Amino acid sequence: MLTTDRSESICVPLWLIVATIVALAIRVGFNIWEPEQKPLPNETIAWQSNVDAAVEPQKPVLYYFSANWSQRCKEFEKACFGNGPLVALINERVIPVHIVDNSVENGSNSPDVQNLENKYGAHAFPCVVLALPDGTLSASATGSKNYRDLKRWLIDELTQSKFVAGSEDFARGDFDKAIKELRDFLDEKDNNPIQARVAWLRYYVSLRCLHKDKEAQEALDEALSHEHDRLQCPYHLADTIFHGWPYPLLKYFDGKLSYDQLDKRQEYDNASYTALIDWSNQDYKACAAHLEQALDTCPSKSYWCYRAARSLITKLPPEYRDPLQKKYFF
């Protein structure tokens, strides 16, 4: 019989007491004899102190800028860099480089650290920056993120068209080399659908640029047989061109990729494609007007339309770029 401090009696079955004691004993014994769990493979990020130390220099670079005095950095590291799947993704897909700001402790940073912070605008911590292999800024994120948000952000950025095989050769106009790399990429199984669409379009464009029109048409037919219908979508075309292509490409489409081939059912399709032509003709005022028309008529959930428009807006001179960015993206 158990007694409370109010002298009320409660009858507790003997079997329940015995079962409780046995359960506790089993749990304690399990904790004592439970073998120590070894860390999973790739559970630690293989941080580099600089890009020059990287073994695979052709990978994109993930910079992590932090400061020792920042409590938010400590929380960020604990939340994100101890997560197995995210750590594995980082080790596999990027070169991770950790840059520590010591300006508070030492009064200033080393020239190398300060140059990187200035180059990528890392002036608040924690800050993660994704850069292309040539050092060009791809994307950045500042402030606290949980590991799910960081993983989603990283995957989204890595699947963009600038990371498709052969991107650098394609951008340089080395179409012979780009064709080989793109074909090898397209022959792989289980490619990311977004990257596959981009690769097919670049493969088609490269063949056209080399005047291999018959092969190009065969490539386009093959691509469409794989249901990559977005090859003929204007805003996806814009997005493809402006991620990793440094000069106008529309001249290569003259008489080859007909406007009649494109889906003209939506007003924002027409406007975005027209804006692309305006940009290639350096008619930036008309380009801005057509981008505004495209964004005003674009369905609110059309991710591709907004991303392609944003890519094109960044190519405009400041007097046209800044008002559009302020209106639609800030």
Q: What is the pLDDT of residue 161?
A: 57
Q: How confident is the model at residue 149 (pLDDT cuts 50, 70, 90)?
A: confident
Instruction: Please report the domains of the chain, with CATH numbers, ordered by start residue.
Output: 2-33 (no CATH), 51-158 (3.40.30.10)
Residue range 103-122: mean pLDDT, rounded:
90
Contact status, residue 133 vs residue 168, Cβ threshold 8 Å: yes
CA 278 to chain centre: 28
Read off the DSSP letter of residue 50: S
Residue 163 has pLDDT above 70, yes or no: no
pLDDT over threshold 80, residue 212:
yes
DSSP bridge partners of 130? 62, 139
Q: Which of 66-80, 95-109, 174-188, 237-251 has the lowest mean pLDDT?
A: 237-251
Band of residue 198 on the pLDDT scale cut at 50, 70, 90: confident
Question: For residue 177, how far is the Cα from the chain centroid?
Answer: 25
Helix (H, G, I), strand (E, B) or coil at 130: strand
Segment 309-313 mean pLDDT = 75
Tell me how many degrees the CA angle 225-230-231 measures, rounded to the nearest 5: 70
Copy the structure tokens of residue 168: 């650098």
Lowest pLDDT segment from 29-38, 88-97, 219-228: 29-38
Q: How far is CA 279 from the centre of its chain?
A: 25
* Interatomic CA distance for residues 279 and 248, integer angstroms: 8
Q: Tell me what percent of the chain is helix, strand and coil, each rounded to the nearest 5.
A: 60, 10, 35
pLDDT given at position 241 = 45
Residue 310, burial from CB neighbour count under 10 angstroms (0-12, 13-18, 19+): middle
Nearest-angstrom CA–CA distance, 181 and 183: 5
